[in-house]
Structure 1
Amino acid sequence: MAKATKKQALGRGLSALLKDPQNDIQSAEDKNADKLVGHIVELELEAIEVNPFQPRTSFNEDALKELASSINELGVIQPITVRKLDFNKYQLVSGERRFRASKIVGLKTIPAYIRIANDQESLEMALVENIQRQDLDPIEISLSYQRLIDEINLTQEQLSERVGKKRSTIANYLRLLKLDPIIQTGIRDGFLSMGHGRALINIEDPQQQLDIYEKILQKSLSVRETEQLVREINTGSQEKKGNKASTTVPKTYKKGIKEFSEYLGTKVDVKLTKKGSGKLSIPFKSEEDFNRIKKLIQGEE
């Protein structure tokens, strides 16, 4: 615990400044604000409330305990970020895992950067900070992107610039939100990868998505195997659609088809579209048979 206490000896002078009601800093123009902005300040954990805009909803307890053990040994190496709400009252913007782990250890204070921001700026900071984390699942990232678009009114292009990601990457994440909620949960729980999810998006029918999801789990299908399965299903669906698109051959054609077949000595097939156009199919058994049919059509026999 001694190491943690030594590590957190930073920012004590600034902490005292913040506790003086006569020096209550509310904006960047206030007296002594320059001493605060960009500096690490020791804040009491009790003075900090959790950010209601935090996109992250679940925290791995074992990982928190490991972080708490590290903080107990080395202290909080990376300061959290908070925004000032009122006198000696702050709201967490980023660093909730560090904040929670510090409470587990029993620390009274934590190093922090203080920002003055309105609710919308706080939401944006929290979301952008959250997206940069390495341990988020694809659905958490997708939801954060969607919230930035909806609540900060950003386009995908603007979002791309804010988070430093390609627009195509953002689009791929957002498409995951079109998956059935059960499949989204499967991705969050680690049963499926983002690659599996991207393959399943190409299946329009939600029930069919779930059927494939079950096969992935039962047979431990890889992403490539899933992509192949999706291709086969889509190809079959397209063939069925193509067959449905062709209309029943009217009686007026049937007599002509019969005459064609008898004249050419092979079964002739006709496919019609709803618009009235069609295709005449004449099968042959060999090159010799092909030449025989050719001569009949050309009137050489």
Structure 2
Amino acid sequence: MAKATKKQALGRGLSALLKDPENDIQSASDKNADKVVGNIIELDLEHIEVNPFQPRSNFNDETLQELATSIKELGVIQPITVRKLGFNKYQLVSGERRYRASKLIGLEVIPAYIRIANDQESLEMALVENIQRQDLDPIEIALSYQRLIDEINLTQEKLSDRVGKKRSTIANYLRLLKLDPIIQTGMRDGFLSMGHGRALVNIDKKQDQISLYEKIISQSLSVRDTENAVKTYHIESNPVEKSKKKIANVQGFVKEGITELTDRLSVKVDIKATDKSKGKITIPFHSEAEFERIKKLITGA
């Protein structure tokens, strides 16, 4: 308990240091920067602004209230991270839920780590930190990956190294952004899993995506059901594939018929069929006697 009290006292002392204009810190080389950067400091909530680069946009009211209740009882256990903007002015890098919950219960100060970073570094820190969270939905993760690629100019390979994820995993998330916005919203609201989304993205036409999405919701289709529905969609919408399926069906009964007739007549029967289930049967014979034998088997005479 003594350690906690000492740390809190240190945080208040450094907080007072930061409120002194003569000791203002703008870079890592400034006086007292080593005392501030990386240490836990109590900052006034009113001097902290929300990070415009924050990739997380959905905050569940119920879970936020639960966090606020926890903070009211136990305090902010994990400090937030901020970057210094100017004298007595800071911007969130990570910890917006803790920040919002603290404001919700009327706290005036919050423990924070102070970083000195430019906009690009701030964006990257915020995005990478949020990607590592367990409660982000697939679309939030996909948007975070896309922003790192677009705004930090990272390739998928470099992004893979930066966030510790396989390149194929990143590619699968990014493909979700090809879904219709209505479906993306459904995923964010928990109506669809990432597996459903990965199946639906294989349909190019947005309207057809939505039609299957509505079927998934109304019939509670599983991921496997959805994958099969997408396969059926491609067969039905592709004349070549549809024709192949018909031929395959025809060949199925033809194959059984060849075996049955060959066994019955004791000759190698040949059957040819079209995609309309039409065709012809060829029964070979090599002598008059064999012809008479086959005729009797067919006519029963």
Q: For this structure pair, what is the TM-score category when the shorter chain's length is used for normalisation? A: 0.7 to 0.9
Q: Does 1:90 find its partner at 2:90? A: yes
Q: How does 1:137-216 map to 2 (within 5 A)?
A: 137-216=137-216
Change (3 A) 1:282 1:91: same
| CA drift at 1:166 | 0.6
Structure 2 residue identity aligned to 1:187: M
Structure 2 residue identity aligned to 1:93: V
Task: Spell out, residue by residue over 1:76-112, the C-alpha distance to the aligned partner (whole angstroms, 9 max, x if none).
Answer: 0111000001111101111000001011121111110
Q: Which runs of 4+ in 1 moved over 6 A?
A: 4-7, 265-268
| CA drift at 1:290 | 4.6
Structure 2 residue identity aligned to 1:204: D
CA RMSD of aligned residues (A): 2.7
Change (3 A) 1:153 1:266: closer
Gaps of 5+ in 1: 245-264, 271-280, 294-301
Using the alignment, how far apart are the partners of 1:204 and 1:226 within structure 2? 15
Using the alignment, how far apart are the partners of 1:266 and 1:167 within structure 2? 50
Using the alignment, how far apart are the partners of 2:21 and 2:75 within structure 1? 29
Are 1:82 and 1:112, in contact at CA under 8 Å, matched by a contact in 2? yes
Are 1:266 and 1:282, in contact at CA under 8 Å, matched by a contact in 2? no
Aligned to 2:284: 291
Are 1:145 and 1:170, in contact at CA under 8 Å, matched by a contact in 2? yes
Aligned to 1:104: 104
Task: Spell out, residue by residue over 1:179-220, the C-alpha distance to the aligned partner (whole angstroms, 9 max, x if none).
Answer: 111111111111111100001111122221111111101100
Secondary structure of the corresponding residue to residue 291 of structure 1: coil
Using the alignment, how far apart are the partners of 1:125 and 1:117 within structure 2? 9
Secondary structure of the corresponding residue to residue 146 of structure 2: helix
Are 1:8 and 1:110, in contact at CA under 8 Å, matched by a contact in 2? no
Task: Spell out, residue by residue over 1:13-46, the C-alpha distance to the aligned partner (whole angstroms, 9 max, x if none).
Answer: 1111111111111111111111112211111111
Are 1:142 and 1:177, in contact at CA under 8 Å, matched by a contact in 2? yes
Task: Spell out, residue by residue over 1:133-180, the C-alpha distance to the aligned partner (whole angstroms, 9 max, x if none).
Answer: 111111111111101100111100111111111100000000000011
Change (3 A) 1:220 1:292: farther
Task: Spell out, residue by residue over 1:277-297, the C-alpha distance to the aligned partner (whole angstroms, 9 max, x if none).
Answer: xxxx99454xxx35369xxxx
Change (3 A) 1:85 1:235: same
Tell me the percent identity.
Answer: 75
Aligned to 1:121: 121
Q: How does 1:60-75 map to 2 (within 5 A)?
A: 60-75=60-75
Q: Please say which of residues 10-19 and 191-200 is displaced more in the overlay.
A: 10-19
Aligned to 1:278: none
Q: What is the TM-score with the length of structure 1 in the denominator?
A: 0.79
Using the alignment, how far apart are the partners of 2:101 and 2:145 within structure 1? 27
Using the alignment, how far apart are the partners of 1:141 and 1:168 within structure 2? 14
Q: What is the TM-score with the length of structure 2 in the denominator?
A: 0.79
Gaps of 5+ in 2: 245-269, 287-301
Change (3 A) 1:31 1:182: same
Structure 2 residue identity aligned to 1:42: E
Aligned to 2:253: none
Using the alignment, how far apart are the partners of 1:64 and 1:10 within structure 2? 29
Q: Please say which of residues 228-237 and 16-25 is displaced more in the overlay.
A: 228-237
Are 1:10 and 1:111, in contact at CA under 8 Å, matched by a contact in 2? no
Secondary structure of the corresponding residue to residue 85 of structure 1: strand
Aligned to 1:29: 29
Change (3 A) 1:284 1:41: same
Change (3 A) 1:45 1:229: same
